[in-house]
A and B are shown apart, each in its own frame.
Chain A
Amino acid sequence: AQSVAQPEDQVNVAEGNPLTVKCTYSVSGNPYLFWYVQYPNRGLQFLLKYITGDNLVKGSYGFEAEFNKSQTSFHLKKPSALVSDSALYFCAVRPPGANNLFFGTGTRLTVIP
């Protein structure tokens, strides 16, 4: 069965410091991988995705993610965190041949001024 794990419910980081939000997956074959962000009382917004090619994917708002096939991970990163990055972040995977996404449980990022 496919699954997505976000091992940290909460990540705190000081403004200006680099941030990492972790995601690992358990899917057969080569999945599509996504990161979404959710601000309070809003729907999910797409940040970036990996389908194939370069393992480092750049997305919106200065975020990037690194695909690591051997570790089955897709961690979200940003070199310098902003207070406005504080939000709930979801990793998602689309297994090969599937019609839908499977989401992790989310990681709440708090950037401390």
Chain B
Amino acid sequence: LAKTTQPISMDSYEGQEVNITCSHNNIATNDYITWYQQFPSQGPRFIIQGYKTKVTNEVASLFIPADRKSSTLSLPRVSLSDTAVYYCLGGGSYIPTFGRGTSLIVHP
């Protein structure tokens, strides 16, 4: 099981780029990196997944270096509505475990 470590909380301001880094030193060769977003009073929402290098979609970008021991979720130009908890998961063939995630608060 790939154990992930991410900051408990982060603060940012509207319009800034936010980068949330997750470390997963023991990630297995076949494991993917997956990020979820959870807004208050809602269920988590899958936002992005990658294996290596860079993946981008309409919500975020995910950067995974060659050694895959860490990954960075990048949110461009955040707004107040990006205030949420962000979970980093590492794995693939086994049942995922959600940790505490990173609580991102975006200030006006």
The answer to whether A and B assemble together is no
